[in-house]
Amino acid sequence: MSAASLSYPGAAAPERSRWLDSFGLRLRVHEWGDPEATPVVLIHGMFDHARTFDVLAPLLAEHYRVVAMDARGHGDSDWAESYPWIVDVFAIVQLLRSNGRPSHLVGHSKGGGQSVDAAVRAPDDVLRLVDIDGFGPPPEGFRPDGDGVPQRTQPEILGDFFDWRRHASDRRGWRTYPTLDELAKRRRQQNPRLSLEWLRYFTEHGAKETNDGFTWKSDPHTVRGYGPWRPEWIGPGWAPLRVPLLALTGTEPDTWGPIPEEVIEERLAHVAHVERARVDGTGHFVHLEKPVETARVLLDWLGDGR
């Protein structure tokens, strides 16, 4: 597509960009702020990309070196053949080590849960940790299509995966839309509280133009991870965490949550050093909905950096 052309109040393009080699894939990394300052690493969630931090990152960059990565299969990073959770976690550890010094680590949604897992595995590389509404699905799993879906057995679920894999290579990608505006409006179904202007701005960075129109850059295969994973393993998996954790949530119902408060509390009960914070009036996408307020909460937790 043509070079990004849109602007949005408060949004700033990265000051520096680099590539991180991760098991043969090139992952895109963007940076804002003083290269000598303490790093703050930002990890986005499913279907998002590093440029969704274009408003939050400059606010943090007044105090920090801000480092945001496109996850495997997202944004401008390479697509992988498969997307098991643990390899994303390893990529976050690799990114932390590429900074050359310990960093603060902030993740949202999928990226939030993976950031906690990365801090469990690399405690010496993480100073302080923030998980923005990434506490896993409810015990029954996310059901955005509504209730009444019969529970499928593990062999039936694996059968669905097999059926999909048999035809994965010739499957079409995401649907295309005639204009970038239409793509931004599609995204608004998931983010009803965001202005079209802001949606247009970050959708442009997450979109590509094809012969048929505009579509998402992200790999449609990213959602098809598989394994015997269970939601009840989340809390015990975080028990060894040594890094102080801020658990940040919104207050409004949304497509992906919030999960019941008692479920969040039950999972966080395994963590030795955890504090809670909320940004009023936001849903799941706390930092996209109120970046200024979110930056204030983050700076309060991380300190002023120098």
- Single out the segment in contact with another protein by CB under 8 A; choices: 57-65, 149-157, 245-253, 258-266: 149-157
Query: 183-222 mask for another protein (x: CB under 8 A)?
Result: --------------------------------------x-
Residue whose C-alpha is closest to residue 178's, from 211, 153, 223? 211
Q: Does position 236 bind another protein by CB under 8 A?
A: yes
Q: Does position 174 bind another protein by CB under 8 A?
A: no
Q: Residue 266: what residue type?
A: E
Residue whose C-alpha is closest to residue 106's, from 84, 81, 127, 76? 127
Smallest gap from Cβ 199 to another protein, in A, equals 29
* Residue 142 vs 162, nearer CB to another protein: 162
Q: How far apart are CA 168 and CA 161, in angstroms?
A: 10
Q: Does position 274 bind another protein by CB under 8 A?
A: no
* Rounded alpha-carbon distances, angstroms, from residue 130 to 106, 123, 189: 5, 14, 27
Q: Does position 150 bind another protein by CB under 8 A?
A: no
Q: Does position 240 bind another protein by CB under 8 A?
A: yes
* Residue 11 vs 89, nearer CB to another protein: 89
* Residue 84 vs 281, nearer CB to another protein: 84
Alpha helices by DSSP H, the chain: 56-60, 85-98, 110-121, 154-166, 180-188, 196-205, 234-238, 261-268, 286-289, 291-302
Number of residues that bind another protein (CB under 8 A): 46
Q: Does position 239 bind another protein by CB under 8 A?
A: yes
Q: Does position 19 bind another protein by CB under 8 A?
A: no
Q: Contact, 44 vs 88, CB < 8 A?
A: no
Q: Does position 53 bind another protein by CB under 8 A?
A: no
Q: Does position 159 bind another protein by CB under 8 A?
A: yes
Residue whose C-alpha is closest to residue 128's, from 238, 39, 44, 68? 39
29 CA to centre of own chain = 14
Q: How far apart are CA 160 and CA 167, in angstroms?
A: 11
Among 117, 131, 204, 289, binds another protein (CB under 8 A): 117
Q: Contact, 143 vs 149, CB < 8 A?
A: yes
Which residues of this protein are in contact with another protein, per CB under 8 A? Answer: 22-25, 72, 78-84, 86-87, 89-90, 93-94, 117, 120-124, 153-155, 158-159, 161-162, 165-166, 168-169, 221, 226-230, 233, 236-237, 239-240
